Chain A
Amino acid sequence: MFAASAFGSAAIDYVALLPVILVALGALGILVADLFLSDERKPLLNWAACAVLVAALAAELGLWFSRTRQARTTFCVPVPGHLNLTSGLCSYSVDSLSLTLQTVAIGGTILVVLMSSRLRQQHSGHSVFGEYHFLILCSLTGALVMVAARDFITMTVALETLSLPAFALVGFGRLAGGEAALKFFLMSVTSTAVMLFGISLVYGVTGSVYFNGINAALSNGGPRMPVLAVGIVLSLVGFAFKVSAVPFHFWIPEVYEGAPLPVAAYLSVVSKTAGFAGLILSIEIAFSSYLSSVATLIAVLAALTMTVGNVVALRQSSVVRLLAWSSIGQAGYVLVPLAVTSVLHSSEAIGASVGYLVLYAVMNLGAFATVNLLAVNEGSAHNLADYRGLYRTRPRVALPLGFFLLCLAGLPPGLMGLFAKVAVIRAVVDGGPLWLAVIVAVNIVIGLFYYLRWIGLLFAPSTTLASSPAGAPIRWTRTPLALRLAVLLPFLGAIVFSVYPDPALWLAL
């Protein structure tokens, strides 16, 4: 192990940082390789990015199997005397939460990279591979650090690392990419600025930016200053924006529609995962002494997010917008367990949220992957009406899509979604307000309506078969391997999780 004296006498644990380092180096490597590759060889970069990610995943699994009771930490500072803490003040910690969510992030990005295999640049028609993969891997680096960060400054830096490349990625979109990117940029930067202001207020009151330090300072029972309440609320804003909680959700439909589909998938899963990590860590660790007050706020946020997301999705006829609003509704479900009012139920709540995130990642990426495959192959998959009778023409695409939609709705045989919802409802019935559970139940029904409408279209007798733009049905084997894998892997994952969801829900134990 290398020892560096950058942090006083503490060493940097490079093994703990291995996944992040691999992804960062891979990003740079791909950018350099792009300079030397000719245009026809550029598709290789797609597989190179996958290789980098698989290596990072392997490093992550290595960390899984070598984990001990005490989580690996790095970038630690000595604990100041006035705070009595059992654990140190560390900026980067590889505990079970980080491991789970980092795996989700890396896995999700693998699927996104697979989905991007036919992306073409808007004006020039050149392949986008070099810059595109560089940006995705940079963004992923930010996501990985954000999930494992244990202090607000690192968290903010990671948030920016996640977001800045994402702005550029959105700009790759064909029709309204530039406009969507600008909107995304402005709203994101504003929310980050507000968040920083909140963090500074919290620092002013508690004297620490580390989550453990803030928790120790607050639980000492100091005077409850109004400025602290403002600081807490504002510092959650940045995460709420990333997570698409209502009323910070306005950017989502525009940005998802303007961005390329793989980028929309990335934003809906990996970016949300990182945002949720920040939210979970702030609420359950940093501000845990204020849990009962924050919980009410989160409950209201969750109820609004679920309901608004599901109700507006009812009216959508554009597929991408429907998926965008549906992902807002699903984010509401993830927020629900965080509304528990007592620290005793904290770990169950975190487990339920994380479990739902893992399962949601699989279902949502699967849905996006099938839509992407159809969009690439047939060029017209943007309206719900285009999906009528898909089961007759493309059964191998319609079946996974139907399964993913059933999982998102939470209905058997999509048992994965059902287990996720049961975990979430259980957490909130145990520790949170019962009215929120009733709202979840009602939202499940509202959600079913639009998922079912889509499923019904898939299996309806096709009246537009004669006039389908693709003419003769395209054979499955002529679809690029990467796109097929992007659909197949989540499908297998969904089937496995429907029978054996324990790996996803293990944190809820």
Chain B
Amino acid sequence: MSTLLVLLLLLPAAGIAALYLAPAELAARIGAAVGAAVLVLSLVLLPLFDYGHAGRMQGQLKLSWVPTIGLDFQLGIDGISLPLLLLTTLLAAICLFYAQRTTTADDKGRTFTALLLLLTIGMVGTFLAENLLLFFIFFEIVLIPMWALIHEWGSGKDNGADARRAANKFILYTLLGSALMLLGFIVIYSHAHTFDMVTLAQRPGFGLTTGVQATAFLLVGLGFAIKTPMWPLHTWLPDAHTAAPTTGSVLLAGVLLKMGTYGFIRIGIGLLPLGAHRFALALAAFGVVGIVYGALACIAQLRRGGDLKRLIAYSSVGHMGFVLLGLGSMTRVGIDGALFASVAHGLITGLLFFLAGGVKERLGTTDLYAIGRGLYGRARRYGVLVAFAAMASLGLPGLAGFWGELYVLIGAYKPAPGLNVLGFHILMGVAGLGMVLTAAYLLMLVRRICMAPPQGADGPSESSESGDADEVSETDQENEADEVRESSPSVPSSAASGSTTTGSAAIGSPIPAFADLTPRELISWLPLGALILAAGLWPAIILAVADPAVHALFGGVR
């Protein structure tokens, strides 16, 4: 099985070599083929995995690489990394397949595909690495490709200057986190004299004192917090997501954020339990603030006329807040929930970003007001998929988002011994409020995009009035105190009167054409939808492997 793990890393590398040996026109096809091959390889892992011992590290490989600095090429997979690995290969394969249409058949397209493959190597390697330095190297490998994707293929104002700024912000912020994380690793090394994660996990904390663990957790935690992202270290996320191309956003939200939460689980809690215990309440508190903040920011996007991708980006901050709450509870249930929520978020937000990318392809913009309304009528399947993804995102039971939130809240209700129970109960309450706000903005989103305004519209003026009426009625339902609502929605709606009003009144006015799902999109996105449904109805497909591994994580602490 260890050869399989190495192959998972070598295959994209061979793909990059093949890209530069073959003519540039074939680049996208080669990329899609390699992506599919990597996905198939990772699926081959499924029958080979020993489910009876999911808590144990399997497929281990240890080769000495640079003994002077303690770096070994050490790979392994267990119940925590297996679902994340499969999520990564699935999203990468779908992205490479989806990119075939948009990739130009020249050198630039070849570079694009090569960057996606390099990104795959970094992402897969992060989840497979079992040596702290190797983990760091793979963690950093993803930085340059993602920066280049946003820098060169991103979209923004000022002829792309916005995209370049977003790319720089992304890489500098994340690199600062990585550098602090490296420092934390070296602090661990200077006391434990090994970077080997398997060895370090044998005993809880490996005999490091609480002070050392706390210092190391602070450093390492800051690094992962920037990646997750945790409020208030999240400011790089909205800009990066808005500017990135579709596949970049999908991989950024679907996988790169999970690298942060995986790091928290594997390294933060797994290797430094006493340090994590000290900062658990803070972690959970920041997470919960993120939930509410993300939801409020999304609502602001919808009211003031914002960007669809920005909205999804802020929703990521909210969902990751749930993950952090689960991690902070330091219980088996909580971390199960955090892991499940991570995988679910990857699937759901991946789908959401794909949908946003489809909108961008068709309309050239993801501005919430320019998209128009009544997608159910204009492109029925597309509208249904948008609504499906929105329902999954708000945690509707039966879809994947529900179980993560449920487990996290149960974990927060009964946190680990030694943690402030009252504090966690308060956080649980606020998280519940956050869930309501999350439902609010997602329903508002579905209403704005998919639904048409009420019938009886006789002309543009009346439609705009009914448009205002919608806003006013929504006003009565919300509880926020600090927004001037009446004027703001009407101003952009009159400015974009062409789309807003015509979308609603199907009375011979020009409607921006919106083609329904193409077969290529259907093939790419249906697996995500199917998995969301499957995980929602049968959470054991993730938890059956993850739970034993999480239990093993707590081997000595509880």
Contacts and interface: CB of A to CB of B under 8 A. Distances in A.
B164 interface: yes
Nearest to B189: A426
B496 interface: no
Contact of B186 (A425, A445, A509): A425
19 contacts: A355-B68, A411-B175, A412-B122, A412-B143, A413-B141, A419-B71, A422-B133, A426-B69, A426-B189, A434-B187, A434-B215, A441-B179, A445-B175, A448-B171, A448-B172, A449-B168, A452-B168, A452-B171, A459-B148
B183 A438 contact: yes
Given A425-B182, A505-B66, 17 more contacts: A412-B137, A415-B137, A419-B69, A422-B186, A426-B69, A426-B189, A429-B187, A434-B187, A441-B179, A444-B179, A445-B172, A445-B179, A448-B175, A449-B168, A449-B172, A460-B152, A505-B69
A425 B184 CA distance: 11
Contact of A437 (B133, B151, B186): B186
Contacts of A434: 187, 215
A430 B187 CA distance: 8
B67 interface: yes
Choose among B164, B182, B190 the residue with the greatest number of A CB atoms under 10 Å from its CB: B182
Contacts of A449: 168, 172
Interface in A410-445: 411-413, 415, 418-419, 422-423, 425-426, 429-430, 434, 437-438, 441-442, 444-445
A413 B115 CA distance: 12
Contacts of B71: 419, 422
Interface residues of B, number: 31
B172 A429 contact: no
A449 B137 CA distance: 19
B217 interface: no
A418 B164 contact: no
Interface of A, helix, strand, loop or mixed by DSSP = helix
A24 interface: no
Nearest to B152: A459
A148 to B, nearest CB: 24
Interface in A487-509: 500-502, 505-506, 508-509
B552 to A, nearest CB: 29
Nearest to A443: B179
A149 to B, nearest CB: 27
A419 B141 CA distance: 14
Nearest to A438: B183
A159 interface: no
Interface string B127-171: 000000100010011011001100110000000000010001001
A50 interface: no
B66 A437 contact: no
A501 B66 contact: yes
B144 A425 contact: no
Nearest to A509: B68
Contact of B68 (A438, A445, A460, A505): A505
A412 B121 CA distance: 12
A441 B182 CA distance: 8
Contacts of A460: 152
A456 interface: yes
B274 interface: no
Contacts of A374: none
B182 A411 contact: no
Interface string B453-497: 000000000000000000000000000000000000000000000
Given A441-B179, A441-B182, A419 B190 contact: no
A406 interface: yes
Contacts of A442: 176, 179
